[in-house]
């Protein structure tokens, strides 16, 4: 289990594995080098790690949002950057040789986080996707708005910023192509999309080949634009995923080499399921607590080779 020590999601799976009397070790990248050393030796074409983290001991790795490496005080900014890159290539490079079950392989996760690639893969395997524009050209946005009656702007990343001791997240924002500031659009790439009419949204947590759906019903204007902006207005219910959609979600995971994905989809008034995005490290514990959908158990099955 490679995760932050205070991660409640990893803790839930650890407890489930312990309940099953299955051994599990927790490790956070942030433990290195201050609290944990790292020694790996190449023997017989395989890397052997010293101590409890020897990869030969494990059948699966659950890799979930570990913290960054923690280096001693006193390093200059340049030395700290160099040390971080050396640690990434050393620790990450040895972990990359692991040939057991990954949930998910961090290198494949990094590729799967590219939203332009997500959308093209989803469209190619037969999922419905919104009309999308990525640009920093104001004229392109204006033209896109003329051909789509309702347009929203979304971030390409899931980065949260800390400003004045508060965390700020960029939510989905309706825009008018004629009113936006050309200079601000020109500052970086932006993702613009036609707004999809919705009955409700569904978070489908794919665990291996198993789709675990939760319908998310928004009861405020802000939450209907982006349900992350108003959790208090949401209600949840377990949702059956149509077989054709589930098959395409399996195809999506296969395309990226993933064992897990948190998919966000819209169900339109015509009952069409429309793909928005997939987070290969997405949250799910609160959905299980709200609905009883057995995601923890499914992940424990996957990690121990019992998934069907």
pLDDT of amino acid 245: 98
Please tell me whether residues 236 and 223 are part of one structural domain.
yes
Residue 262 β-bridge partners: 205, 279
Which runs of consecutive H residues, i.e. helices, occur in 65-215? 77-87, 93-95, 106-112, 115-124, 138-147, 182-186
Please tell me whether residues 189 and 207 are part of one structural domain.
no
Please tell me whether residues 179 and 204 are part of one structural domain.
no
pLDDT of amino acid 308: 63
Domain that holds residue 156: 131-194
Q: Is residue 59 part of a domain?
A: yes
Please tell me whether residues 202 and 180 are part of one structural domain.
no
Largest CA distance in the chain: 64
Please tell me whether residues 237 and 257 are part of one structural domain.
yes
Element (H, E) at 244: helix 243-256
Matching residue, tokens 């080098």? 33
Please tell me whether residues 189 and 201 are part of one structural domain.
no
Given a contact cutoff of 8 angstroms between Cβ atoms, the answer to whether 269 and 125 are in contact is no
Q: Is residue 211 part of a domain?
A: yes
Which SS3 state, helix, strand or coil, does residue 45 take? coil
Please tell me whether residues 214 and 276 are part of one structural domain.
yes
Q: Is residue 105 part of a domain?
A: no
Which residue positions in the chain have pLDDT lower than 50? none
DSSP 191-216: EEEEPPP-SEEEEEEEETTEEEEEEE
Residues ≥6 apart with Cβ < 8 Å to 217: 200, 234, 235, 236, 237
pLDDT of amino acid 52: 65
Dist. CA 228–CA 221, nearest whole Å: 12
Dist. CA 240–CA 213, nearest whole Å: 6
Q: Is residue 158 part of a domain?
A: yes
Please tell me whether residues 201 and 293 are part of one structural domain.
yes
Q: From 176, 194, 212, give the residue that closes a domain.
A: 194
Q: Is residue 147 part of a domain?
A: yes
Q: Is residue 225 part of a domain?
A: yes
Q: Is residue 64 part of a domain?
A: yes
Please tell me whether residues 62 and 23 are part of one structural domain.
yes
pLDDT of amino acid 162: 62
**Which string of b and e fits 171-202 if b means at least 16 CB within 10 Å?**
bbeebebeebeeeebeeeebbbbbbbeeebbb
pLDDT of amino acid 294: 97
Residues ≥6 apart with Cβ < 8 Å to 197: 268, 269
Prediction pTM value: 0.91
Q: From 158, 173, 194, give the residue that closes a domain.
A: 194
pLDDT of amino acid 184: 86
Please tell me whether residues 90 and 145 are part of one structural domain.
no
Q: From 58, 79, 99, give the residue that closes a domain.
A: 99
Which SS3 state, helix, strand or coil, does residue 146 take? helix
CA distances from 203 to 138, 257, 266, 297 (A): 33, 20, 9, 17
CB atoms within 10 A of CB 217: 15
Dist. CA 20–CA 17, nearest whole Å: 5
CATH code of the domain in which 252 resides: 3.30.470.20
pLDDT of amino acid 57: 84
Q: Is residue 226 part of a domain?
A: yes
Please tell me whether residues 207 and 296 are part of one structural domain.
yes
pLDDT of amino acid 159: 62
CB atoms within 10 A of CB 149: 8
The domain tally of the chain equals 3
| Phi, psi for 285 (deg, rounded to 5) | -60, -40
pLDDT of amino acid 163: 63
Please tell me whether residues 170 and 253 are part of one structural domain.
no
């Amino acid at each position: 289990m490679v995760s932050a020590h205070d991660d409640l999601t990893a803790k839930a799976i650890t407890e489930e594995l312990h309940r099953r009397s299955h051994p599990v070790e927790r490790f956070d990248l942030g433990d290195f080098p201050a609290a944990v050393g790292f020694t790996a030796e190449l023997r017989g074409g395989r890397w052997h790690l010293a101590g409890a983290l020897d990869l030969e001991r494990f059948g699966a790795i659950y890799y979930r949002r570990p913290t960054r490496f923690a280096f001693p005080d006193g390093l200059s900014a340049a030395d700290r950057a160099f040390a971080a890159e050396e640690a990434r290539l050393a620790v990450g490079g040895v972990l990359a040789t692991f040939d057991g079950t990954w949930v998910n392989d961090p290198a494949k996760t990094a590729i799967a986080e590219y939203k332009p690639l997500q959308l093209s893969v989803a469209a190619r395997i037969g999922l419905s996707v919104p009309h999308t524009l990525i640009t920093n050209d104001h004229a392109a946005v204006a033209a896109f708005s003329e051909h789509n009656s309702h347009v929203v702007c979304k971030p390409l990343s899931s980065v949260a910023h800390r400003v004045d001791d508060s965390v700020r997240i960029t939510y989905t924002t309706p825009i008018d192509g004629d009113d936006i500031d050309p200079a601000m659009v020109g500052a970086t790439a932006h993702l613009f999309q036609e707004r999809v009419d919705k009955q409700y949204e569904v978070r489908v947590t794919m665990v291996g080949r198993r789709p675990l759906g939760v319908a998310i019903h928004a009861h405020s204007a802000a939450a209907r634009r982006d349900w992350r902006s108003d959790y208090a207005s949401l209600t949840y219910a377990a949702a059956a995923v149509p077989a054709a959609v589930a098959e395409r979600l399996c195809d999506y995971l296969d395309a990226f080499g993933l064992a897990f994905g948190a998919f966000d989809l819209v169900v339109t008034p015509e009952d069409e399921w429309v793909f928005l995005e997939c987070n290969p490290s997405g949250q799910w514990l609160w959905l299980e607590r709200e609905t009883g959908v057995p995601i923890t158990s499914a992940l424990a099955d996957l990690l121990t080779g019992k998934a069907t």
